[in-house]
């Protein structure tokens, strides 16, 4: 699934192609099965570069896909809309909203999958704790929440917070093909991925450390 407009920056295509198998493995490990009518929430989505890869990986065969991205930055949301809102399939509903996810998010449905790529917990733990709490409040009872992180310490802080908020970790993956960031030692793109659920382990679900 290519974006409608020709957006690019160095490394983007490779990052997405490396993200694809890592997402697939993390979801499979967590026991994810996409329902036929799926609702996916991309929280703090920024420009939502990963929209195509996420939809193709998490719900390639769903007959109806509702996908919502929210971010506090208006410019990023405008860009995400221009790139992805023209639906690729007639039954897709792809929407982006500008908003503060640390505040109550009323009027939203419950989601099968909540996704936060490159979550930023370390920048402001109280704000991100509220974002996580609201995200959890939007999960279906059997829904999953997935995060990716760019460095280990932040991943561990975010994981501890999500588990304090009552989630169970169903999958944990260190991305073997992560791209190091030259200007930030110890950081690399989608270096860690974890999947959480509100219930216990699903059948077929388990943890993996690569």
Ligand X SMILES: C[S@@+](CC[C@H](N)C(=O)[O-])C[C@H]1O[C@@H](n2cnc3c(N)ncnc32)[C@H](O)[C@@H]1O
Residues that bind ligand X (CB under 6 A): 44-46, 49, 70-73, 76, 100-102, 117-118, 120, 127, 131
CB 52 within 8 A of CB 78: no
- For the bound state, the minimum distance from the C-beta of residue 173 to ligand X, rounded and expressed in Å, comes to 16
Q: How far is the C-alpha of 54 from the C-alpha of 168, rounded, in Å?
A: 22
- Residue number, 1 or 91, with CB nearest to ligand X: 1
Number of H helices and E strands in the chain, helices first, is 5, 7
In this complex, which beta carbon is closest to ligand X, that of residue 31 or of residue 149? 149
Q: How far is CA 148 from CA 7, 90, 118, 178, in A?
A: 22, 30, 5, 11
- Using the minimum distance from each CB to ligand X, give the nearer residue, 120 or 129: 120
The minimum distance between CB 28 and ligand X, in angstroms, equals 22
Q: Which is nearer to ligand X, 169 or 187 (CB)?
A: 187
Nearest approach in angstroms of CB 100 to ligand X is 5
Residue 98 Cβ vs ligand X, minimum distance, rounded to whole Å = 9
The residue number whose beta carbon is nearest to ligand X equals: 46
Map tokens 């932040």 to a residue: 154
CB nearer ligand X, residue 59 or residue 70: 70
Q: What share of the chain is helix, strand, coil (3-state, %, to 5)?
A: 30, 25, 45
CA of residue 159 relative to chain centroid, distance: 14
- The distance of closest approach from Cβ of residue 44 to ligand X in the complex, given in angstroms and rounded to an integer, is 3
Kindly state the tokens that stand for 173.
């993956």
3-state secondary structure of 47: coil
Q: How far apart are CA 208 and CA 185, in angstroms?
A: 25
Closest CA to 149 of 105, 180, 85, 193: 193
H or E, element range at 108: none
Q: Give the nearest distance from C-beta 36 to ligand X in angstroms.
A: 27
- Identity of the residue, 70 or 167, whose beta carbon is nearer to ligand X in the bound complex: 70
């Amino acid at each position: 699934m290519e974006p409608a407009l020709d957006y690019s920056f160095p490394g983007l295509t490779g990052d997405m192609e490396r993200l694809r198998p890592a997402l697939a493995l993390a979801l499979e490990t967590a026991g994810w099965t996409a329902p036929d009518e799926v609702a996916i929430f991309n929280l703090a989505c920024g420009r939502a570069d990963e929209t195509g890869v996420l939809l193709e990986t998490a719900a390639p065969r769903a007959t109806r896909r509702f996908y919502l991205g929210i971010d506090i930055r208006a410019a990023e949301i405008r860009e995400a809309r221009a790139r992805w809102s023209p639906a690729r399939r007639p039954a897709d509903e792809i929407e982006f909203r500008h908003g503060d996810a640390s505040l109550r998010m009323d009027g939203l449905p419950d989601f099968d999958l909540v996704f936060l790529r490159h979550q930023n917990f370390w920048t402001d733990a109280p704000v991100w704790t509220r974002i996580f709490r609201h995200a959890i409040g939007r999960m279906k009872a059997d829904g999953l929440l997935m995060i990716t992180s760019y460095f280990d310490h932040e991943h561990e802080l975010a994981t501890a917070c999500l588990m304090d908020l009552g989630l169970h970790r169903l999958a944990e993956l260190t991305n073997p093909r992560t791209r190091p960031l030259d200007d930030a030692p110890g950081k690399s793109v989608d270096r860690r991925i974890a999947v959480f659920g509100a219930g216990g382990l699903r059948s077929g679900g388990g943890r993996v450390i690569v």
